[in-house]
Amino acid sequence: MKKDLRIMETKGQKENKAEIYKGIVLVAFLAIILFFIYYFHLRLGTHFFTHFLYIPIILASFWWRRKGLFLTYFTAASYIFIHYFLAQIPYDKNALFEDFGRVPMYFIVSLIVIRLSERMQEEIKQRVDKEEQYQAVIKTSRDGFCLLDEQGKFLDVNDAFCCLSGYEHDELLSMGIKDLKDKKIIPEDRRAIRKIIRDGYGRLQAILRSKDSRIVPVEVIVNSLKTKGKVHYFAFVFDITERKNMEEALVRSNNFNKMLLDSLPFMLDIVDEEGNLLYINHVLENIFGKEVLGKKCWEIYNDDKKQCSVCPLKHNLEIGKTKIIEAGMILGNKTFEVFHVGIIYNEKKAVLKVFIDITAQKKAQEVLARSKEWLQEAVNLKVAELKESEKKLNDAKRLSDIGTLSATIAHELRNPLGVIKNVAYLINKKNKDPAIEKHIIVIEKEIMESDQIIENLLTYSRISEPKYEKIFCLDIFSESFSGLRHKYADWDVRLETNTNCGSKDFIMADRIQMQMLYSNIIDNAYQALVDKRGTITIIEDYDNKENRFSVTFKDTGVGMDESDMDRVFTPFFSKKARGTGLGLALCKQIVELHSGTISIKSKKNEGTEVLINLPIYTQI
């Protein structure tokens, strides 16, 4: 403000001086002209110099405008005074008109000049006002402004630029743009500068270094101005620190978002409301590449290329709402949990989808379910085994009880049997009647049979761990059959033996138990035959490599019903009219004690086949 005042002052002073000079010039002009008029009028009688009076009138009117009229009045008055009072010119009609006609002419000229001058002044004033307005605008502008000459020296700067740079107004005027530039100029700036020099205008971003070494990023708009053959540049300088900061923040935030998206290990995409892919993250990009953008998402992911039945896109998904669906058969029969989130993407409604692979989880569940089933099965199996064992235990206990019981019974029965036998003998000796003798024989035979039953019962209850010894295979049959030979001597039976055993082939087994085994099965075979006739085949197969000795007993007897098959090895099961039902049970026990297997096949009215497998060497 102070500065302005000072400028105003000097301006006023200058004007005053000019006014004085103008006054002097006019007074001088007037004096000279009036003198000439007076002189030549009086002496020569010529009016020529009165024309010169126009000069001060015009000047005064031009310079002072309305005030200049006073000079016109004065001049006119002076003219009249000179004419009538000094020159005393006689009245001449023409001359009068000519002389007095000049006075209005003065006024007319004066007024015209005043008018012109005023108009000029107005124009000048308008121009000055405009300039001042502009200057005021520039001065008060928040953006920096500077005027540079061709060398880059500051010709003028505004306050905002001063603030920006930190220098005083006067300091700046002695400096160049180069003094403010930061040393690191980015290459684009050079290009921009070259363009400005070439085209005369341009825009560039630069970094200013202020007086206090502040770094100020600025954007500069430059325009050139050609005046008097010189090129001046005027530039508007905008402080873009905030913008830069914001941009950086935006970039950082974008980077963070991108990093966040790219670091997410699961698949992520954005689709529009029709399901067209707008964005895919790096996981999906690695799988499909960028070219899938714009295609329908289900055409890319789904194995069957069809939209999921539960697709949330089918129902308008609200922005900010999340819907989770489970989609199977995706990317090669995988199962995903897909989060659908309604969002705004590129100013449009879109759906962000996040895929979480739950295939493993699903599989684990299945495996778990299967394990459960398996476990259940195993438990069931074990329960069955347990039941089986329990049954066996019960059987064993029962057998053990039977054993004790039968030992007692057998013993108790033997005495009476002995007595009966004795009596029968006595009767027979005394008897002479052949009919009675026949009956006695029957008695004796029955006694023998009873004795056999008792024997079986005792044997069964008494059977124990085998006493292993070397037994030649060929001996087993002959030894076993010797006891039966008499019993079935009068039967019409073809007994065939078919063996591959050599004379030195042997098995490790209990001799007595082996005999029991053979004789029991052969005895059964005989018993099964109809009308005491038929064929019994014994096939022995000795396999040293497999450590197996198998024997098959076949008969052409009555066979048995299917329903009885699974009970044949049960103790006390018998279909015979007279049988303890212990024969096969005993066989089974013997075979099992020898770690072997026994099985039976039978067809009603065709015959029965008993297959025994025994190990040659038993691991003891």
Partner 1 sequence: MQKTAELVITKKILLVDDDQYVVQTLKQILNKFGGYQVNTASDGKQALQEVERCSPDLIILDLNLPKLSGEEVCKEIKRNEKNKNIPIIMLTGKVREVDRIVGRVIGGDYYLTKPCDIPELLKIVQNVLAVKN
| Site for partner 1, rule CB under 8 A | 410-412, 414-423, 425-426, 429, 447, 451, 455, 458, 462
Number of Cβ within a 10 Å radius of residue 289? 10
Shortest Å distance, C-beta 520 to partner 1: 17
Which residues neighbour 118 within 8 Å (Cβ) at sequence distance 6 or greater? 65
Q: 3-class SS at 487?
A: coil
Q: DSSP characters for 25-62? A: HHHHHHHHHHHHHHHHHHHT---GGGGGGHHHHHHHHH
CB-wise, 140 or 422, nearer to partner 1?
422
- Per-residue tokens: 606: 């065709």
Residue 608 bridge partners (DSSP): 555, 602
Closer residue to partner 1, CB minimum distance, 337 or 451: 451
How far is it, in rounded angstroms, from Cα 363 to Cα 385?
Answer: 32
Separation CA 595–CA 614 (nearest Å): 7
For residues 218 and 590, which CB has a smaller minimum distance to partner 1 in the complex? Answer: 590
Beta strand 469-472 with 506-509 is antiparallel
Q: Which is nearer to partner 1, 28 or 423 (CB)?
A: 423
> At its nearest, how many Å lie between partner 1 and the CB of residue 412?
8
> Least distance (Å) from partner 1 to the CB of residue 417?
4
Residue (66 or 462) nearer to partner 1, CB: 462
In sequence order, which residues have a C-beta less than 8 Å from that of residue 257 and are 6 or more positions away?
Answer: none
The minimum distance between CB 406 and partner 1, in angstroms, equals 12
Nearer to partner 1, 143 or 451 (CB): 451
- Please tell me the distance from the alpha carbon of residue 391 to that of residue 398, in angstroms, as a whole number: 10
CB 476 within 8 A of CB 553: no
**Exposure b/e, 36-64, CB count within 10 A at least 16 = b:** bbeeebeeeeebebbebbbebbbbbbbbb
Least Å distance, CB 414 to partner 1, is: 4
| Calpha distance 117→383 (Å, rounded) | 130
Least spacing, CB of residue 483 vs partner 1, in Å: 15
Nearest to 210 by CA among 146, 159, 166, 170: 166
Tokens of 130: 């405009």
DSSP assignment of 289-330, as one string?
-GGGTTSBHHHHHBTT-S--TT-GGGSPPPBT-EEEEEEEEE
* CA–centroid distance for 88 within its chain: 121
- Of the pair 362, 414, the CB lying nearest partner 1 is at 414
Supply the minimum distance, in Å, between the C-beta of residue 494 and partner 1.
32
Amino acid at 196: I
Q: How far is the CB of 456 from partner 1 (least distance, A)?
A: 11
Which C-beta is closer to partner 1: that of 463 or that of 551? 463
Q: How far is the CB of 460 from partner 1 (least distance, A)?
A: 13
Minimum distance from residue 467 beta carbon to partner 1 (Å): 11
- Alpha carbon 370 to chain centroid, angstroms: 29
CA pair distance 342, 354, nearest whole angstrom: 12
Residues 357, 265 contacting (CB under 8 angstroms): no
**Crossing angle for the helix pair 67-80 and 2-43, to the nearest 10 degrees:** 10
Return the DSSP state at 596. -
Nearer to partner 1, 80 or 417 (CB): 417
Q: Which two tokens stand for residue 31?
A: 């004096």
Q: What is the largest CA-CA distance in the chain?
A: 235
Q: How far is the CB of 447 from partner 1 (least distance, A)?
A: 6
Q: Nearest distance from residue 506's CB to partner 1, in Å?
A: 23
| Residue 428 Cβ vs partner 1, minimum distance, rounded to whole Å | 9
Kindly tell me which of 391 and 411 has the beta carbon lying closer to partner 1.
Answer: 411
Between 12 and 418, whose beta carbon lies closer to partner 1?
Answer: 418
Give the C-alpha separation, 55 to 451, whole Å.
186
Q: Is 429 or 470 the residue whose CB approaches partner 1 more closely?
A: 429
Give the residue with the Cβ less far from partner 1, 20 or 448: 448
Q: CB of residue 582 vs partner 1: minimum separation in angstroms?
A: 15
Distance (Å) of CA 352 to CA 31, 272, 280, 398, 483: 99, 9, 10, 76, 95
CB-wise, 176 or 403, nearer to partner 1?
403
